[in-house]
């Protein structure tokens, strides 16, 4: 009964407020950086917090299918908005790193090549680019069944994003490991039961 109530309310809620609200958190972080409330290295703090925000929204989008499967709550209509907002945050995370942190083209290329956590993060971002570009009705119609297969790239992308977070926070810190474990769990529970039986039988 509770699931039906949530579903009924969700059907009435438009998606456009999500897009309008999306710029507010990074704008607030930028303001906090300008007025000196993000610590001794505000650029790094802003860069990391925006990146973490992108990962969190991407995780929220990944929760929608198991939420429907196990509780009956259907929030599928918000998944595209969450995915695009996550891509927006992750793109901002990358731009802050490029334009405010490193700023030197040769150093950017060197870091991507020599620092594994940056390499992993860049691969994750590149996997998300075709998903963002095809998150529209025209692309869905043109690609047909291929669209769903293409959007499976979100799974390795979010996994690599979590690995990037773990590698960034050197020393096996608890927080990034919890994010990684949560993402692995969300990916595992998406597997159909028949595959589990086949795998372990």
- Of 83, 87, 92, give the one whose Cα is nearest residue 47: 92
Q: Domain-by-domain residue ranges, the chain?
A: 2-195
Alpha carbon of residue 41 to chain centroid: 24
CA angle 168, 84, 89 (to 5 degrees): 35
DSSP 34-62: HTT-S-S-HHHHHHHHHHHHHHHHHHHHH
**How many residues comprise the chain?**
201
Give the pLDDT score at 64. 93
Give the pLDDT score at 49. 96
Give the pLDDT score at 104. 83
Give the pLDDT score at 201. 43
Q: Name the token pair of 176.
A: 């990034």
Give the pLDDT score at 11. 87
Alpha helices (H) along 96-136: 105-114, 116-133
pLDDT tens string for the chain (201 positions)? 588 888 888 888 999 999 999 999 999 999 999 999 998 999 999 999 999 999 999 999 999 999 998 899 999 999 999 999 999 999 999 999 999 998 887 888 888 888 999 999 999 999 999 999 998 888 888 888 888 888 899 999 999 999 999 999 877 889 999 999 999 999 998 876 545 444 444
Give the pLDDT score at 55. 97
């Amino acid at each position: 009964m509770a699931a039906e109530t949530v579903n009924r309310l969700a059907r009435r809620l438009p998606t456009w407020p999500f897009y309008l609200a999306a710029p507010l958190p990074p704008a607030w972080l930028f303001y906090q950086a300008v007025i000196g409330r993000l610590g001794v290295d505000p650029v790094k703090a802003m860069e990391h917090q925006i990146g973490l925000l992108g990962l969190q929204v991407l995780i929220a989008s990944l929760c929608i299918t198991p939420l429907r499967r196990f509780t009956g709550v259907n929030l599928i209509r918000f998944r595209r908005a969450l995915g695009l907002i996550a891509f927006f945050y992750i793109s901002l995370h990358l731009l802050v790193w490029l334009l405010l942190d490193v700023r030197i083209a040769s150093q950017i290329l060197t870091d991507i090549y020599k620092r594994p956590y940056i390499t992993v993060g860049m691969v994750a971002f590149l996997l998300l680019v075709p998903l963002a570009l095809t998150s529209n009705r025209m692309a869905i119609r043109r690609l047909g069944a291929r669209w769903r297969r293409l959007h499976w790239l979100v799974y390795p992308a979010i996994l690599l994003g979590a690995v990037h977070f773990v590698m960034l926070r050197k020393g096996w810190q608890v927080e990034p490991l919890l994010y990684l474990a949560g993402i692995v769990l969300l990916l595992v529970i998406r597997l159909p039961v028949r595959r589990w039986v086949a795998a372990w039988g």
